[in-house]
Structure 1
Amino acid sequence: MVELTLSGLRVLREVAARGSFTAAAEAMGYTQSSISRQIAALEAAAGGRLFERETRGVRLTEAGRVLLRHGAKVLDQVEAADHELTALRELSTGTLTVGGFPTAMAALLPRALAAFADRHPGVAIALREGTTPAQLRLLRAGTTDLAVIAPSADEPDDPGLVLDRLLRDPLLLAVSRGHPLAATREVDVDDLATHHWIIGKDEAGDPQLDLWRRVAWQPRTRFVVKDWTAKLALVASGLGIALVPGLAAPWIRDDVALIALRMPDRAPVTRDVAMATRTGARELPHVRVMVDLLHYTAAELARELEARLQDRWL
C-alpha cells in the first residue's frame, strides 16, 4: 500500500502554489521527472487524480484541494516541531546577556537566571547592572539581549524595542521602628512633605522611583547616599524616612518598618517593572526562554511579595 509522505506533501504544496511541474521543479531544485513521480505516488495513495493538466500548467482537483488543506496543516506542525528542536540544540551553547536595574538584580533576576542556568547549563550568562536609562542604551547599542527596567511614564516610544510589563512594584515608606508613623499601615504622600528624607544619589530627579514627579512638593533632604545599606542604616537610626521599592522588601532589616503609600485620591503608589528586548530578538531561542521565565518568576514574586508585606505590616 502506497502511503503519503512529507516530501510528497511538500511537492504538492509547491506545484499548487506555482501552477506547473516545471516551476515547482526549478523552485525545489528537482528534475521535472522527479516531481512527476512524487505526484504520481501521492495520487496512488489518495486513490485519484490531484491535478488537472491544462495547456499552461496544472490546477488542483477537488481531491487535490482536500489533500492540500490537510497536508498544509501537517507541514506547518512538522516545521514548528523542527523549529523547536533546532532551538533546543542551539540552547546547548552560546551566551545570554541580561541587564537589570539594581533592585531587579537583588530580587527578580537571580531567581529567573537560576532557573535558566539549571535548564540550559551550556549557555553562558553575562550580566549588566545599571539604571534604566543605561539599560536602554545598552539595548539600543545591541550589547544586551534583554533588560529588566523600570520605565518612566514619559519614556518615549521606541519602535526598535519591545516592552512587556512584568509587575506593578509598590513604592513603600521606610521609617525607624521608633518613628511616630511606624505603627501606621498606610500614609498619604502629601502628609510627608514636612519630614526629613534620606534619598539615593540623584533620586529627587530619578524617574525610576518617580514619586517626586507626582507630588507638588520636593523632599526635605537631610542626607543623600548612594549605597542602600547606608540609606537604611540612617533610616533605622531615626535620621529620616526613605522610599523603598516593594521588590526590596524581603531584604529590609528588622529595625525598619514599611508603610504603604497612597496618593491623595487613595491610589497606591507603584511603579512598573518591565522587560525590554530589541524588536525581533525574541526569535532567538535564548531570549525566548528567558522571556517566559521572567514572566513566570515575576508572577510568583508578586504573590510572595504581597504575603510578606502583609506579615510585615501586621
Structure 2
Amino acid sequence: MSEPHGLYEVFLRVAREGSFTAAARALGYTQSAVSRQIQTLEEEWGASLFDRLPRGVRLTEAGRVLLPHAEGMRGRLRAARAELDALRSLGGGMLRIGAFAAADVSLVPRAMAAFGERHPGVTVVHTEGPTAKHVALLAEGGLDLAVLSTPDGVPLHGPDLHHLLDEPMYVALPRAHRFAGRARLRLAELADEEWIEGAVPPDRTLLAPALTDGFRPRVAFRVNDWTAKQGFVAAGLGITVLPALAAGAVRADVALVRIDPADLPCRKVYAGTPRGLGHSPAVSAFLALLRTTAAA
C-alpha cells in the first residue's frame, strides 16, 4: 500500500467498484479492512450506506446523499495537499515581512528582489514601520519575519533574533560645510550646530545613546521624512544623523561623515521571527538572503 486512504476515499472506491473485494484490490487493502472502514463510516453517520447483495454492493439512499459530499471533500483534501506541497517546495504560499525605514532603503528590497527571482510562486507581503510595531505583530502572528533595530546594549524582548549587522551612524552635512571632508567626527565638535530632528521625544531618535552623556542637540526644525531632512541639510538649514543603511539614498549635495562610535555606537540590526516557532521554508530562504545581502 503506497499511502493510507481515508474513510471517504474508501467509501468512494467501493461506490465506484460496486464491491468490497474490488475496492480492496484497488486500494491495496484486505477485503476485511475495507468492510471495517465502511462499517465505521456507517456508525458515524447512523445509516447504512450500502446494500449488501449476493454479488457486490450498491449505494443506499443515504449513500447516494453522502456521495457528492464525499467527492467534494476529496477534491478539497487534494487541493490542500497540493498547496502544502507548494509551501514545502516554495512553489506557492505567502511570506509576510516587516522592516523599519532605513532597512527599506536597500537591504530589504534587495533581498526581496532576489527572493522573487528564485521563488516567484511565493507572494511576499511587506509592512513598513518602527521596530516596536513589528515586534508586536510578530507576537500576534501578523508577520512571519521582520527586520528590527535597537541601540547597542539595549535588548529587544519578544521575538527570536538573528543578527544581521552592526550599523554605523553618520552625520549628514551640507557639501560646503567645514567638516564635510572629515573621516570621523565627535559630537562635541557639533555642539554649536543646528539640527534637523523628527517630531518625537529625543530618547526615541538616533541621538538617544548620546543623551546619557549629556549631549543636547540644538533643534532648528522638526522634520520626519528622510528625504525632506536631506533637503533641509542641503539648503544649509541644519545637520542630522543618518544611519548607514540609508546611506545609499543620500542626495549628491549632502556629505556623510561617520560619527565616532564612542559617541554613537553602532545600531544592532536583526531579523526577528516569532519566538519558539519553527521556520517555514519561505522564512528560512528569505533569512538566508537577508544575511547574504547584509554581508555584502
CA offsets 1:39-92 (integer angstroms, 9 cap, x no match)? xxxxxxxxxxxxxxxxxxxxxxxxxxxxxxxxxxxxxxxxxxxxxx96874411
- CA distance in structure 1 between the aligned counterparts of 2:211 and 2:129, rounded to whole angstroms: 21
CA offsets 1:241-262 (integer angstroms, 9 cap, x no match)? 1101111112111111111111
Work out which of the residue numbers 188, 193, 197 in structure 2 matches 1:195: 193
Is the Cα–Cα contact under 8 Å of residues 152 and 265 in structure 2 kept in the other structure? Answer: no
2:179 aligned counterpart, secondary structure: coil
1:149 aligned counterpart, secondary structure: strand
Work out which of the residue numbers 208, 211, 225 in structure 2 matches 1:227: 225
2:150 match: 151
TM-score computed with the length of structure 2 as normaliser? 0.66
After superposition, residues 277-288 of structure 1 pair within 5 angstroms as: 277-288=273-284
CA drift at 1:226: 1.2
Relative to structure 1, is the Cα distance of residues 207 and 163 closer, same or farther in structure 2, using a 3 angstrom cutoff? farther
- CA distance in structure 1 between the aligned counterparts of 2:130 and 2:156, rounded to whole angstroms: 18
Structure 1 unpaired stretches of 5+: 1-84, 301-314
Is the Cα–Cα contact under 8 Å of residues 92 and 123 in structure 1 kept in the other structure? Answer: yes
CA drift at 1:133: 0.8
From the CA coordinates, give the structure whose radius of gyration is larger: 2
Matched letter for residue 184 of structure 2? E
After superposition, residues 102-181 of structure 1 pair within 5 angstroms as: 102-153=101-152, 155-156=154-155, 158=157, 160-181=158-179
CA drift at 1:218: 1.5
CA offsets 1:273-312 (integer angstroms, 9 cap, x no match)? 1111012444311111111111111101xxxxxxxxxxxx
- CA distance in structure 2 between the aligned counterparts of 1:87 and 1:213, rounded to whole angstroms: 51
Structure 2 unpaired stretches of 5+: 1-83
Matched letter for residue 202 of structure 2? A
1:93 aligned counterpart, secondary structure: coil
CA offsets 1:184-236 (integer angstroms, 9 cap, x no match)? 22111222222110112316221655444453122110001111111111101
CA offsets 1:86-127 (integer angstroms, 9 cap, x no match)? 687441111000000011111100011111111111111100
Q: Which moved more, 1:238-247 or 1:186-195?
A: 186-195
1:151 aligned counterpart, secondary structure: strand
- CA distance in structure 1 between the aligned counterparts of 2:237 and 2:201, rounded to whole angstroms: 18
- CA distance in structure 2 between the aligned counterparts of 1:208 and 1:136, rounded to whole angstroms: 19
Matched, 1:293 2:292: no
Aligned sequence identity (%): 39
Relative to structure 1, is the Cα distance of residues 281 and 107 closer, same or farther in structure 2, using a 3 angstrom cutoff? farther
Work out which of the residue numbers 246, 270, 287 in structure 2 matches 1:248: 246
2:23 match: none
Is the Cα–Cα contact under 8 Å of residues 281 and 287 in structure 1 kept in the other structure? Answer: no
1:283 aligned counterpart, secondary structure: coil
Relative to structure 1, is the Cα distance of residues 239 and 113 closer, same or farther in structure 2, using a 3 angstrom cutoff? same
Relative to structure 1, is the Cα distance of residues 108 and 157 closer, same or farther in structure 2, using a 3 angstrom cutoff? closer
1:62 match: none
After superposition, residues 22-61 of structure 1 pair within 5 angstroms as: none
- CA distance in structure 1 between the aligned counterparts of 2:112 and 2:268, rounded to whole angstroms: 20
Is the Cα–Cα contact under 8 Å of residues 97 and 145 in structure 1 kept in the other structure? Answer: yes
Aligned length: 215
